[in-house]
Amino acid sequence: MSVPRSLSRTAVFAVLYVLATFAGRLTVMDGTNLSMVWPAAGVAVVWFCAQRQASARWADVVALAVITLVVNLATGATAAMSLVFVLANLVQVGVLLYLFRRWRPALWGTGGSDGLSSPRDLWGLLAAAFCATAAGAAIGPTGMWLLSGHYSWPSTAVWLARNTASILLISAAGLRFGHAVTVRRRRHGGPGGWPRQALSALAATPPWRLAEYAAVAVCSLAAYLIGFAYADGLPLSFPLIALTVWAAIRLSTSFVVLHDLAVGAIAVLFTLHRDGPFAAIDSHPLRALIVQLFVALVAVVGLALALGRDERAALAAELAADRAALAAQREEAARRADLMTAIIDSMADGLSVVDAHGQVTLRNPAAVGLLGGRISSAVAAAQHYGLLTLDGRPLPDSELPYARVMAGHRDGMDILIRNPGVPDGRIVNVRGTTLPDACGDRSAVLLYHDVTAERRHRDELAGFAGVVAHDLLNPLSAVEGWTQAAREILLEDPAHGAAEAADSLRRVSRAAVRMRHLINDLLAYTTARDAAIVTEPVSLADVIADITAARTDAAVAANAPVPRFTVGDLPTVHADLVLIRQLLDNLIGNAIKYIAPGVVPEVTVGSAPAGTGMAAITITDNGIGIPAGQHAAIFDNFHRAHRDAGYAGTGLGLAICKRIVERHAGTISATDNPGGGSSFTVTLPSAAGSAAAVTAEAPAGPPLTISGPSR
Amino acid sequence: VARVLVVDDDPDLRDLTAQWLRVDGHEVLIAGSAVEALAAVQRFGVPQLAVLDVDMPGIDGVQLLQMLRRREPGLPVLFLTVLWSAADVNRMQAAGGVYARKPCTAEGLRAAVRRLLPDTLPSGAGG
């Protein structure tokens, strides 16, 4: 705060102080030269509180001293007595500020920023006011005694009572006002717009509340006028306290402070004027003492009630806010818990939590499903779930996933689960970790991931690689070796080696054809397995007609026995044309190929309905048949039933057929004919049925084309 | 010069091996399966070396080796095969055969045969 600003504030307070001092001096009675009322005591406290951080506080001290001196001199006090009063007033305000700052350091005016808002603030102010006035009284009346040789106990009592009441009332109002101004300044930057905001606050107050304010004001005015002006000396002061109680319980604390000030002023003024319930007391000091006690009591009752109520309301609001925050937290926690549960329940991987005592505390539906629906609330032995090692041995207890995780193994392990719920077995990768639980024990958290398809795929891939390498390396050896042989022959004897070289090259090209067949079949298998299928109505009659024509031409060209085909009524199916052509060509090709030497192939193609929406197509031959016990195995990759008998093949033809049929949600099977040969029966979705029967495993797209002969 | 039994179910490879061995002057017996091989041994006597394919339908090369060793315990055997997995190689070595990978060159085969038959010296071309 700048010095000019500080000094201007000093001036304002000095003026107020002068007025308060004059008002006080007007209440001097008798020859005691002692004022009955001393509002200047309260004004001085507010002044010094407001100027606590002022840059020119010395000016306040000087002003207070000078004003006290001058006014006292001007109103009849001797110079010596005036100096005593100066000293008494300075000591009084100093003691008050010191004590009040010690006891309530957080308030506006003592170093903090809080407003006078709790009963403890009130008691602090009251105690500090009493101690300060006691210090003042120790100097004032004592000084008067020293100067006049006459000590007046009543004067001391009046001094105590008037200054305490004055400080209590005026500084309570001043402290609240000062705090309100500071808050306003902090929020709005200045006092501008105050009337507008006050009006809007007024408009926001409910009308019945405004009516109550008016009622309290009117009733108080009426009651005090009756009690002090028209009661004819009757001691009717006690009912007046009820009005203060009414205001303190119901209305705002600031209003209560103003109310206390107003009724206190009325009481004092009328009493000094010798009206009212205390007028009957003859002794001036005693009368002043009583009325000041009355005013102080009214102020204390009003403020104690109002501030106590404020404090309770603040606590209740805090409690309600806490409760609301707690409820919000609880709701959030519940929402999170629901979300977590939903996530865990919808996970494709299995999750279970097992506590230190082996009790299962959580297990999601996926975990139950992976375990084949076998659940138990406690960790059970491997047999219960049918837990096996990958090579099919029962899992020992120490190798159970739970036990491994508890023993600190973090790496995942593959286990085989086979039980009545999973008769075909399932390979599950289990990994886990331990977490401390609420009881200080450790829980195992286990995550189950179904790797059956992955492992099967991996094994299939490894098998594929092996077989492909094997089946390609053999013809490649022939290619290399016979090429070298041809070269050597031609180098050694170009003239006569031609026939021998041609024989070598014939072997080379035979090996190359074998390699081409295998590669074509591999491509066909991959297509059948992974390519997108595009279904459409496919006339099997047309497809079979094409195939039989081509096979007949091929036989004629190869000078082989021409197969005889018997084709019955064939349906239209809902399928992928390219794959169906491949399927039927493979089957008819097998029927012609696996035939005893010298026998003319006879192939019959017929059809029959096969359940809802499906059609069965049967291809019957008069071939060499299928070795006993291999009717299912012939559909496996690289299975060659007739290798011993010298029939060439890649072992992929029927695997391709099976894959094509499965991708059309159909079935394929082989049986022996009563009269010799075999029958292959394929079911496919009939075009009359719905397209939904088809499993489209890959997104729709153009199918890969397959070229070249099969098998 | 030695009498060598060559067994392979692939005729082109069998003939190739046989041709290479004949070029070196060996007397070669050929068979397309274990059964044929046993019949040939029965008829023409035990050879001094057997060159066997392993992956054959029916009785495979390792089993054939065991059968031949029953007749001739010290018979040197060369497995000529495309099999390469550790399990297959272990099986061949456990049976007591030397192992050579296909595709195999004439020189490779010749070196292997020389290792197995140190006493016989090839007579050179034209034998």
Dist. CA A156–CA A96, nearest whole Å: 18
Whether the pLDDT of residue A32 is over 90: the answer is no
Structure tokens at B55: 């992956």
Whether the pLDDT of residue A695 is over 50: the answer is no
Q: Is the peptide bond before A494 cis (omega within 30 degrees of 0)?
A: no
Model confidence band, residue A620 (pLDDT cutoffs 50, 70, 90): very high
Q: What is the pLDDT of residues A149-173, one digit of tens each?
A: 887 788 888 888 889 999 999 988 9
pLDDT, average across residues A375-384: 74
Which of B9, B82, B104 is best to mutate for the A interface (most A CBs within 10 A)? B82
Which of B10, B16, B21, B107 is best to mutate for the A interface (most A CBs within 10 A)? B16
Dist. CA B24–CA B51, nearest whole Å: 15
Judge contact between B12 and A511, C-beta under 8 A. Answer: yes
Nearest residue to A13 via CA among A55, A35, A38, A42: A42
DSSP label of A226: H
Higher pLDDT: A148 or A321? It is: A321
Model confidence band, residue A645 (pLDDT cutoffs 50, 70, 90): low
User: 0.80 cut: is pTM over it?
Assistant: no
Nearest residue to B10 via CA among A474, A649, A480, A644: A474
Q: Which residue of B has its CA nearest to A510?
A: B12
Nearest CA of chain B to the CA of A476: how many Å?
7
Higher pLDDT: A386 or A212? It is: A212
Task: Give the pLDDT confidence score for residue A646 in this predicted structure.
Answer: 66
Q: Which residues pair with A388 in a beta bridge?
A: A394, A416
Higher pLDDT: A464 or A704? It is: A464
Q: What is the pLDDT of residues A65-122, one digit of tens each?
A: 999 899 888 877 788 888 998 999 999 999 999 999 999 888 888 888 888 888 899 9
pLDDT, average across residues A313-326: 94
Cβ contacts below 8 Å, chain A against chain B, sum to 49
Dist. CA B11–CA A341, nearest whole Å: 67
Of the candidates B58, B82, B83, the beta carbon closest to that of A644 is on B58
Lowest pLDDT segment from A341-350, A354-363, A646-655, A656-665: A646-655
Judge contact between A455 and A414, C-beta under 8 A. Answer: yes
DSSP label of A55: T
Dist. CA A639–CA A641, nearest whole Å: 6
Of the candidates B12, B102, B105, the beta carbon closest to that of A473 is on B102
Residues 6+ apart with CB under 8 A from B35: B58, B59
Whether the complex's predicted ipTM surpasses the cut of 0.90: no
Q: What is the pLDDT of residues B57-106, one digit of tens each?
A: 888 899 999 999 998 888 999 998 877 777 888 888 888 888 887 777 88
Count of residues in chain B: 127
Dist. CA A291–CA A161, nearest whole Å: 9
Model confidence band, residue A388 (pLDDT cutoffs 50, 70, 90): confident
Dist. CA A94–CA A144, nearest whole Å: 21
Dist. CA A217–CA A244, nearest whole Å: 10
Task: Give the pLDDT confidence score for residue A574 in this predicted structure.
Answer: 92
pLDDT, mean over chain A:
85
Nearest residue to A654 via CA among A613, A569, A702, A594: A594
Model confidence band, residue A700 (pLDDT cutoffs 50, 70, 90): very low
Phi-psi map region of A373: left, alpha, beta (phi>0 left; psi -120 to 50 alpha): left
Dist. CA A361–CA A632, nearest whole Å: 45
Q: What is the pLDDT of residues A499-519, one digit of tens each?
A: 889 999 999 999 999 889 888
Judge contact between A93 and A132, C-beta under 8 A. Answer: yes
Whether the pLDDT of residue A709 is over 50: the answer is no
Judge contact between A446 and A354, C-beta under 8 A. Answer: yes
**Residue keyed to tokens 């011993």:** A644
Whether the pLDDT of residue B47 is over 50: the answer is yes
**Mode of pairing for the β-strands spanning A422-436 and A413-419:** antiparallel
Whether the pLDDT of residue A369 is over 80: the answer is yes
Residues 6+ apart with CB under 8 A from A633: A639, A641
Whether the pLDDT of residue A684 is over 50: the answer is yes
Whether the pLDDT of residue A33 is over 70: the answer is no
* B16·A470 Cβ contact <8 A: no
On whether any CB of chain A is under 8 Å from the CB of B107, the answer is no
Task: Give the pLDDT confidence score for residue A192 in this predicted structure.
Answer: 66
Dist. CA B99–CA B86, nearest whole Å: 12
Model confidence band, residue A399 (pLDDT cutoffs 50, 70, 90): confident
Task: Give the pLDDT confidence score for residue A331 in this predicted structure.
Answer: 96
On whether any CB of chain B is under 8 Å from the CB of A476, the answer is yes
What's the burial of A44, exposed, middle or buried (CB within 10 Å: 0-12/13-18/19+)? buried
* B103·A481 Cβ contact <8 A: yes
Q: What is the pLDDT of residues A299-311, one digit of tens each?
A: 999 999 999 998 9
What is the Cβ-side half-sphere exposure of residue A218, based on CA atoms within 13 angstroms? Answer: 6
Of the candidates A469, A474, A644, the beta carbon closest to that of B13 is on A474
Structure tokens at A273: 């004027």
For chain A, give me the number of helices (H) and strands (E)? 20, 15
DSSP label of A673: -
**Residue keyed to tokens 């005729």:** B11
